[in-house]
Chain A
Amino acid sequence: MSEIKRNLRFIGTLISLRARRLMAFRLSFFAGSIVDSSLFITWLLMFSAIYGRVDGIGGWSRGEMTIFIGTYSLLNALNMTLYFFGVIGLPGKIKSGDLDHYLTKPVSPLLRLTFEKVDLGSAPLILVSVLIILAGVAEANVAVTLCTALGYIALVLCMCVLYYDLELILRTIPFFVISASSIERLEGAAFEVCMRVPGTLFTRGFKILFYYIAPYGVMATVPAQVLTGMATPGGVAQALGILIVFTAFSQWFFRFGLKHYKSASS
């Protein structure tokens, strides 16, 4: 309990330091929010054009698809705000040897790496995402109960952890190879596909790839299904199972990677 308190106080200090630093670049403060909002707005326009011609896509109505896009936007917003800018710095620190500074401090290196670059400028994107989701709920005419709302929030938080796991796994690979930029670019390509279409549309090889190998297809789909009443207990259990496996693996993989850290720049 005291360790949790200590870690929370440490995270608070990191956020405070980061906020002060970001304030020095006021013009770029909200850049992340504006940039990502433009991305999700173009996708909404894209689906609006498609739904102008069809009634449904694989069983997803316009409102349900809006909820899906809003959910992905929300996951992306939480990712950008909380840990994205911290985790993406890991390969550079491994390569330059700067990870030494993290290992010698009396706090978990992963905790510091994860939360040292909290980006408050991305937080408005959370609000934009919530507005998209609310618009989708209104359009889909979904009756949201307290139970489904809480279930949705809990699953979004769980999928946020899954998102973190996937980012961490890919950025742990540089412990073993010189550069993992190729893997990061593949991640971008997979992410691009899965952010645009609900995972239920994938079949055969794509289903295996985006559900079990790189489960980007699960992340927004299952919470959106819960909110729209399309989820099955089996589907939710499967998503949670994937989360547990990937979380356990990412933590083990990071520790395993640390053992192979050469502490030498290249």
Chain B
Amino acid sequence: MRKYWEIAKLSFKVQIAYRFDVCMSMVATAASITFAVVLWGAIFGESETVGGFTLDQMLTYYVLSAFLAMLDMSGGVSSEIGDRVRNGTFSKYMVVPVNTQGYFIAQSAGVTGFYLTFDLAAAVLWTFLFGIRPTLTGDVALIFAALTIIALGLLFMVQFNYALGLLAFRFLDIGPVLIIKGNLIAFLTGALVPLSLLPDWLTAGIRLFPFYHVTYLPAMLLIGKNAGEAALGIVTLSVWLLFITALNTRAYGRAQLRYDGVGI
């Protein structure tokens, strides 16, 4: 366990060298919130509530979802695996005495830990700058449930991105897949629009998948909505986590045999 703690600490420290990326991460959050302010400002000019949301609740939702989306720094896992497989340097992970999945989880945890403070500061800063009146819940149980789901969701996303990265062992170039994944994930996690605005049958279907619980559900819990889904969220994410961990272990075992370590 200690070596994974060291990996996480090292990843945390490495981020200090990339201060500029931190600023850009904050700017990206602003883009998402600007979009929400402009779009929903126009919509709420004509209606008091939309889909059960008031304007303040809607904007708070976007601040929270933007914060959670920026907190997930695991996207780099799949691109790093993809790049290294393609240029033949993935051998680095095969020779070090650590579990590869564990390595990437620890690495992402370190990066997320570093960004946590800055993303939180950005969320608070934009909330004040855009004059948003946050409507957060005071229910401790809901906050605790949301934090648990956020932790499970972040863990799932690392595993999910790791799984996508393993595709590089078979297809080499996974760049387009990763961009399409980004577009779809933004929609499925509710980062573009609250999922409760979708038709009920579609929301019911999406609820079975983990992405619903990664961003949308914790953001809703934190604004005091969907309280009845907290337990379901924890169970669903836990089941998906077990499934994807087993899948990754099996897939990596096969990928190792396929890997030639030469690159193109």
Contacts and interface: CB of A to CB of B under 8 A. Distances in A.
A28 B30 CA distance: 33
Contact of B27 (A42, A186, A196, A202): A186
Interface string A40-59: 00110110011011111110
Given A54-B43, A185-B27, A197-B35, A27 B173 contact: yes
A121 B42 CA distance: 37
A182 interface: yes
Interface residues of B, number: 34
Contacts, number: 84
A35 B175 CA distance: 10
B96 interface: no
A31 interface: yes
A34 interface: yes
Contact of A52 (B28, B192, B199): B199
A213 interface: no
Question: Closest 6 CB pairs between A and B?
Answer: A58-B42, A189-B31, A31-B176, A42-B187, A49-B197, A46-B192
B199 to A, nearest CB: 7
Q: Is the interface of B mostly helix, strand, loop or mixed?
A: helix
A180 to B, nearest CB: 12
Contacts of B43: 50, 54, 57-58
Interface stretch (B105-113, B116-124, B178-186): B178-186
A156 to B, nearest CB: 23
- Which of A43, A57, A192, A193 is the most central at the interface, judged by chain B CB atoms within 10 Å of its CB? A193
A39 B192 CA distance: 11
A104 interface: no
Nearest to A195: B35
A28 B171 CA distance: 11
B192 A58 contact: no
B246 interface: no
Contact of A50 (B30, B183, B186, B193): B193
B97 interface: no
A197 B30 contact: no
Contacts of A27: 173
B51 interface: yes
A59 B44 CA distance: 12
B94 interface: no
Given A42-B192, A54-B47, A201-B38, A35 B30 contact: no
B192 A35 contact: no
B29 to A, nearest CB: 9
Given A50-B197, A54-B47, A182-B24, A42 B186 contact: yes
